[in-house]
């Protein structure tokens, strides 16, 4: 049975992880640029879904869809894909492939079809699955997030309880690279519940790695309130990165409360000060066009962007509602003309990156091509 993986730039790391998981069951996923028999698998986010749904509907083979959009909208996706892997795929996808190979009439739990859906009864233990094998990817060190930011799909897909890969496992996979980079919702929350940091565990992990370590920078950003004098000391001692990437999202405390960020503007300002004291360049995420903003909130965000860009970089995106999040049914707010003008000016100086005009660019992760 030939099993293919539809090449999608935004889903590179999912391919690495699922390639490794399926390999353990004896299935090798071949990367393809169009659907091919016997089976082609897709990982869909909200933007790539729109580009690929017709291809899947007309594919000359069995199709399996997964990923954040398929998880959030499995009923809709099951109308055009033969099977939908809902949630984490590392156990469910190989189990589905085995059941198709054996010609079983029923599908494993965790797989939706046009006929129905029974949720999976497991969560994935990171130490039980390799982060990658021959298809290289980043080492995922933590999955799940206790925070419930209103625009974010992560806790809705992976749950609000953090699960961590062990230090032994991380060290073994990181040793295959010269530079170690990690996937996690908050690098500084390694080993903790995500709220009460365990810097002792972060330090134990970093001490163990022999590589050049990039921690708290793409793709392992941090939250602003986890940036403290103690955490900065650990980062400066062990890590090669001199940029620290964290999310502020808004310059208005009212908006931060509404979108349930769980931190304040003061936390962001403190994090900026600590970066400056330590010689780290802050790279700070913002979302503009949030539906709960008014003009005053938007101006407060511009003020905070101005502060960030004095000694760092602001990474600004226009809000896009994602399915299965509390903000799913809202609409982005139109930006004030002064906001567009100001961001455009800062972009010319390289102080602002991102896209506050096209909502979809960030979902392509660096490449607009499928």
Looking at beta carbons only, is 68 or 155 nearer to ligand SF4?
Answer: 155
What token pair was written down for 3? Answer: 């099993």
Say whether residue 259 binds ligand SF4 (CB under 6 A).
Answer: no
Instruction: Give the x/- contact pattern for ligand SF4 in 182-221, rule: CB under 6 A.
Output: ---x------------------------------------
User: Shortest approach of ligand SF4 to residue 227 CB, angstroms?
Assistant: 13
Cis peptide before 162 (omega within 30 of 0): no
| CB neighbourhood size of 159 (10 A) | 16
What is the enclosing helix (H) or strand (E) of 241?
A: none
Q: Which of the ranges 23-31, 118-126, 143-151, 210-218 carries the binding residues for ligand SF4, by CB under 6 A?
A: 143-151
Least gap, CB of 223 to ligand SF4 (angstroms): 6
Q: Rounded to the nearest 10 degrees, how much is the dihedral formed by the CA atoms of 291, 298, 152, 189?
A: -160
* Binding window for ligand SF4 (CB under 6 A); candidates: 50-58, 149-157, 197-205, 333-341: 149-157
The one among 6, 147, 164, 165 contacting ligand SF4 by CB under 6 A: 147
Can you tell me which of 19, 165, 181, 223 binds ligand SF4, judged by CB under 6 A? Answer: 223
Partners of residue 183 on adjacent β-strands: 140
Rounded to the nearest 5°, which phi and psi values hold at 295?
-60, -40
Please report whether residue 6 would count as binding ligand SF4 according to CB under 6 A. Answer: no
Of the candidate residues 67, 108, 155, 354, the single one contacting ligand SF4 (CB under 6 A): 155
Output the CA torsion 327→330→331→333 (10° steps): -70
To the nearest whole angstrom, how small is the minimum distance from the Cβ of residue 151 to ligand SF4?
7
Q: Which two tokens stand for residue 56?
A: 């899947």
State the number of binding residues for ligand SF4 (CB under 6 A).
9
Q: Which of residues 298-337 bind ligand SF4 (CB under 6 A)?
A: none
Select from 21-29, 142-150, 331-339, 356-364 the region that touches ligand SF4 (CB under 6 A): 142-150
Query: Which residues have a Cβ under 8 Å from the Cβ of 136 and sit 6 or more positions away?
Result: 16, 176, 177
Tokens of 98: 């085995």
20 vs 284 by CB, closer to ligand SF4: 284
Cβ-contact 3, 28 below 8 angstroms: yes
Planar angle of CA 126, 226, 230, nearest 5 degrees: 105
Q: Report the alpha-carbon distance of residue 257 to residue 279 in Å, rounded.
A: 30
Q: Is 154 in the site for ligand SF4 (CB under 6 A)?
A: yes
Nearest to ligand SF4 of 73, 145 (CB atom): 145
**C-beta of 17 vs 162, nearer to ligand SF4:** 162
Residue 10's CB: how many other CB atoms inside 10 A? 22
Write out the two tokens for 165: 């890969």
- Please report whether residue 164 would count as binding ligand SF4 according to CB under 6 A: no
Task: Say how far apart CA 175 and CA 155 lie, in whole Å.
Answer: 29
Contact residues: ligand SF4, CB under 6 A: 145, 147-149, 152, 154-155, 185, 223
């Amino acid at each position: 049975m030939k099993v293919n993986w539809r090449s999608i730039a935004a889903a590179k790391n999912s391919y690495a992880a699922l390639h490794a998981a399926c390999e353990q069951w004896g299935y090798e996923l071949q990367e393809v640029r169009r659907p091919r028999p016997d089976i082609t698998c897709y990982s869909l986010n909200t933007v790539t879904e729109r580009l690929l749904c017709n291809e899947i509907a007309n594919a000359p083979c069995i199709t399996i869809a997964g990923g954040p959009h398929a998880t959030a909208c499995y009923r809709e996706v099951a109308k055009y894909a033969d099977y939908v892997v809902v949630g984490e795929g590392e156990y469910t996808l190989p189990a589905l492939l085995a059941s198709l190979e054996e010609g079983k009439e029923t599908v494993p739990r965790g797989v939706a079809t046009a006929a129905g859906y029974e949720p999976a009864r497991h969560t994935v233990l990171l130490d039980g699955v390799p982060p990658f094998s021959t298809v290289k990817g980043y080492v995922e060190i933590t999955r799940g997030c206790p925070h419930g930011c209103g625009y974010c799909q992560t806790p809705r897909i992976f749950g609000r309880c953090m699960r961590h890969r062990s230090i032994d496992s991380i060290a073994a996979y990181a040793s295959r690279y010269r530079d170690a980079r990690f996937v996690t919702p908050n690098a500084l929350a390694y080993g903790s519940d995500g709220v009460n940091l365990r810097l002792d565990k972060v330090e134990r992990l970093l001490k163990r790695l022999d590589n050049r370590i990039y921690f708290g920078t793409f793709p392992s950003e941090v939250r602003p309130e986890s940036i403290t004098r103690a955490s900065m000391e650990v980062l400066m001692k062990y890590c090669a990165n001199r940029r620290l990437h964290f999310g502020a999202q808004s310059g208005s405390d009212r908006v931060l409360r509404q979108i349930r960020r769980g931190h304040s503007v003061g936390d962001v300002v403190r994090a900026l000060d600590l970066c400056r004291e330590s010689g780290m360049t802050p790279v700070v995420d913002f979302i503009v066009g949030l539906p709960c903003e008014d003009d005053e909130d938007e101006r407060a965000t511009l003020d905070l962007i101005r502060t960030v860009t004095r000694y760092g970089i602001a990474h600004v995106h226009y809000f896009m509602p994602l399915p299965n999040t509390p903000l799913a049914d809202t609409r982005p707010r139109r930006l004030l003309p002064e906001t567009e003008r100001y961001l455009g000016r800062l972009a010319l100086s390289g102080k602002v990156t991102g896209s506050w005009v096209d909502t979809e660019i960030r979902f392509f992760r660096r490449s607009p091509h499928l």
